[in-house]
Structure 1
Amino acid sequence: MNVQQLVPLALPRGRRLACELCGGPAQLRCGACGVTYYCDVDHQKADWVSIHEKICQLLIPIRTSLPFFNSEKERKHGMEQLLHRQKHLVDLTHKVAQKFVFEGKHEEAIPAALHSLRFSINIYGQDSMELVPAYLILAEAGTGLGRLTQADDYLSQAQWIVLKTSDCSKGIQSKLHRNLGLLYAAKGHFEESLYHLATDIYFASCAFGTHDISTSGGYFHMANVFFRQNKMDIADSLYTEVTDIWHAHFSRLIQVQSQTFTSPAEINILSEDVEISEEPLSKSNFQYLLIINLLLLLLLLIELRQV
């Protein structure tokens, strides 16, 4: 890990800068970008590992004063460029945070998600639906780390925005209820958890279809709750539903690959959209792809049974 040098701050009396992670009084500054501040070395390292290494230089034009513009046209162009840079950082930080969550690296996800939230607030304001994805990642990371009060606070913010937004998408509502289900399960409130997970399945079915892999997550988490309640018959039926959905998904992929050639590196097993090539699939390549997909399905089955 190549962490950039930190520079001690020498601020005029009365001026205060906030730590990038906790918001506390900053004592240090990143020596590379010069526009990011931390209360201590630990917070600087945590931010660097999570996201700062990727956005260090991108922050400079965002956090420095805009130049003097000679005309309204130049000013408008400058503001458009600033907005474009901010939106790019929202997307980048969100993707990085989501990747860490998928990998189970909840501590690493938090700084990136906080960046995504702050940039979204700067662009869209405090009450926008655009803030909900960042709140959901922060809540999921908090639940994964056992910081349930913090996760509850983030979900309350997300839920408040969703409830007052009449045209909120079914996909976002599905993710919100899934996170609420996971939070209540972590608290041991199984009835509330099952209610929210059932609502998750409903919204996911409306958005993606009853047997889509996006819907399978709700079934999986419901199965885990019933498993914890020692209701093994119900848990087993739900685990079977999950494996059936994934089996159908892999079967569709194999069927497509049996007709067209796609190298293993081009296959995204989580996507319904498969990159199509005009080159026919050879028998050996088809067998290779079939083995890969069957192994992936076997690993999924093993993981489900061991939960």
Structure 2
Amino acid sequence: MASRIIGQAKGKANEVHVFIASGVVHQRADWGSIHEKICQLLIPLRTSMPFYNSEDERQHGLRQLQQRQKHLIEFCYTVAQKYLFEGKHADAVPAALHSLRFRMNVHGLSSVELVPAYLLLAEASLGLGRIVQAEEYLSQAQWTVLKSTECSHATHSLLHRNLGLLYMAKENYEEARYHLANDIYFASCAFGTEDIKTSGGYFHLANLFYGLKKLDLADTLYTKVSEIWDKYLDDRYQVLSQARIQQIDLLGKQFETDTGLDEAQEAEAIRILTSILNIRESTSDTAPQKTIFVLKTLAQEYAMRAFSLSREQQLSDQEQSTIQELLSLISAEETHPVT
């Protein structure tokens, strides 16, 4: 089945690029989901290049232009990811298309750097029930990866994850399991087996087993995901607490958030942990401690977000102290074994 997708990609490479270009036109009415966030950032890109007195000045101007485009690539990508984790698939499409266009401008039409944007568009299409459209984006992504000699483990992981989701949507569970297993393998190579970036593969594979009523396998994977996020949040809180005690800022920079996550990663954490909590609550009669464990982890995520917002909004010291005391209680609570 996978080879069929690759074969389609060879014959449709140009067709997919045309499809993307027309997609931009069709999605223009929906650009409010991203356009208002980047409107000011687009102004320098739409302004004609000034006259430079020397080649050095011209090259400096081009480098600045590329830096702006690269910033927009990552910003649009993060916004699109956040929408996807929140289940707002239609809103994710314009942001992902912007990311793709900027990637094409910076890296060209055949670069492996386009793959993450193709995968965002594929996932959004799956969420909207447009399986054929998702296949077209995935076929282009897969063909681009196969042609590249410099594709990272992280990109391979994302490709297999999206192929796994495609085959789950098509109810081809054997193929889905194959790709999700490869997702976990490549993510482990890139980040380690216990990293939050690897946890997404475990989570989707757990969902597959849960849907197939293989509850023991699903339970083991849901537990692993919960433990990964719990350890990450607890470790992050301990580092931040120590930094505050010593009145220092890590790397001499202000923390973007107290969780150390960007907006997309925070949305992912909440989606994953909330989904697992719902499953745990439905089986709480047999394993209430598992529900308690997920609730503790989710509570710590929300508490850290609340503390971050309290600092950004400059709430009173008393209000910040109250949230910090809650965080201390959650962190100090002895974790019950998850069995």
**Of the candidates 176, 179, 202, which is equivalent to residue 219 of structure 1?**
202
Give the match for residue 46 of structure 1: 30
| Distance in 2 (alpha carbons) for counterparts of 1:81 and 1:240 | 46
Q: Which moved more, 1:192-201 or 1:63-72?
A: 63-72
**Of the candidates 115, 126, 144, which is equivalent to residue 161 of structure 1?**
144
The yes-or-no answer on 1:184 pairing with 2:175 is no
Q: Is the CA contact (8 Å cut-off) linking 1:116 and 1:134 kept in structure 2?
A: yes
More helix by share: 2
- What do residues 63-119 of structure 1 show as CA deviations (whole Å, max 9, x unaligned)? 354345554444434433333332232222222222222222111111111111111
Give the match for residue 71 of structure 2: 88
The yes-or-no answer on 1:289 pairing with 2:288 is no
Q: Which moved more, 1:240-249 or 1:126-135?
A: 240-249
List runs of 5+ in structure 1 lacking aligned partners: 1-20, 25-36, 275-282, 302-307
Structure 1 residue 56, shift from structure 2 partner: 2.7
Structure 1 residue 287, shift from structure 2 partner: 4.5
| Distance in 1 (alpha carbons) for counterparts of 2:48 and 2:240 | 53
| Distance in 1 (alpha carbons) for counterparts of 2:84 and 2:332 | 26
Give the match for residue 173 of structure 1: 156
Structure 1 residue 182, shift from structure 2 partner: 0.9
List runs of 5+ in structure 2 lacking aligned partners: 1-19, 248-254, 263-303, 305-320
Superposed CA RMSD = 3.6
Normalising by structure 1, what TM-score? 0.70
Q: Is the CA contact (8 Å cut-off) linking 2:236 and 2:259 kept in structure 1?
A: no
| Distance in 1 (alpha carbons) for counterparts of 2:242 and 2:50 | 57
| Distance in 2 (alpha carbons) for counterparts of 1:293 and 1:154 | 43
The yes-or-no answer on 1:267 pairing with 2:258 is yes
Give the match for residue 280 of structure 1: none
Bigger relative contact order, structure 1 or 2 (CA pairs below 8 A, ≥6 apart): 2
**Which amino acid is 1:126 matched to?**
L
Q: How does 1:1-307 map to 2 (within 5 A)?
A: 23=22, 43-48=27-32, 50-69=33-52, 71-256=54-239, 259-261=242-244, 266-268=257-259, 270=261, 287-291=325-329
Q: Radius of gyration: which is bigger? A: 1
Q: Which moved more, 1:218-227 or 1:52-61?
A: 52-61
Q: Is the CA contact (8 Å cut-off) linking 2:240 and 2:258 kept in structure 1?
A: no
Normalising by structure 2, what TM-score? 0.64
Aligned CA distance change for structure 1 residues 22 and 46 (closer, same or farther; 3 Å): farther
Alignment size in residue pairs:
254
Structure 1 residue 221, shift from structure 2 partner: 0.7
User: Aligned to 1:216, what secondary structure does the other structure show?
Assistant: helix
Structure 1 residue 190, shift from structure 2 partner: 0.7
Structure 1 residue 125, shift from structure 2 partner: 0.7
Moved over 4 A (4+): 67-71, 257-260, 262-266, 283-287, 291-295
| Distance in 2 (alpha carbons) for counterparts of 1:95 and 1:196 | 24
| Distance in 1 (alpha carbons) for counterparts of 2:241 and 2:72 | 40
